[in-house]
A = this chain, B = another copy of it.
Amino acid sequence: MNSRELLKQHIFKTITLTDEQFDYFFSHFTPLSFKKGQTIISEGDEVDCEYFVVSGCLKAFFINDDIKMYILQFAMPTWWTSDYNALYSHSRATINVDCITDAEVLCLKSADREKLCAEIHPIEHFFRWRTNRGYVASQKRLLSFMNNDAKKRYEELLALYPELYNLVPKHLIAAYLGITRETLSRLYNNR
């Protein structure tokens, strides 16, 4: 499926637009291709875009003062990603986004998102529901952090996204779970 169809099917799960409306909507996206390891957003950047993943896998991550990495989100096809804190508050990026695999994305400028939301009411509806779902997912992950130990969180992650097991290196899974790679290795080798 091409990127236009993928985006169309994705947003049509929430809203419907006329063909002209969708064409207009789609005309604001810029397709971009990246190679494995390439950086999309670096800490300190001005952030004015968000990204809809068409193929491949991205990660959004934070690096702390001890150079330890924590992964906020793996972004797979039909997921959206950016540094939303920076994007919404017009501040500099504090998180990074890069490519775990070769990837194709559609880039949407924040100013264009706002323009589209103002011009076409259903588009605002779509973005409201996208964030509603993201908020609930984030709360669930927070609860899982408080309630479950690392082993349970690992099993939950693999149950929810089995494709990650072969797609992303284990030290990145550990960085998502908030544990060290050593601990993760011991968990699934039962040591």
Contacts and interface: CB of A to CB of B under 8 A. Distances in A.
A84 interface: yes
Interface string A127-142: 1100111111011111
Nearest to A71: B146
Contacts of A133: 88
A34 to B, nearest CB: 23
Nearest to A175: B146
Contact of A142 (B84, B88, B132, B138): B138
Interface in A83-136: 84-85, 88-89, 117-118, 121, 124-125, 127-128, 131-136
A143 interface: yes
**How many copies of this chain sit in the oligomeric assembly?**
2
A72 B145 CA distance: 11
Contacts of A117: 125, 128
A128 B138 CA distance: 16
A29 interface: no
Nearest to A61: B143
Contacts of A88: 132-133, 136
Contacts of A125: 117-118, 124
Chain A: number of interface residues, binned into ranges = 20 to 34
Nearest to A89: B136
A77 interface: no
Given A64-B147, A88-B133, A133-B88, A72 B128 contact: no
Interface of A: 62, 64, 68, 70, 72, 84-85, 88-89, 117-118, 121, 124-125, 127-128, 131-136, 138-143, 145-147, 178
9 contacts: A62-B143, A72-B139, A84-B136, A85-B136, A85-B139, A89-B136, A117-B125, A127-B128, A135-B135
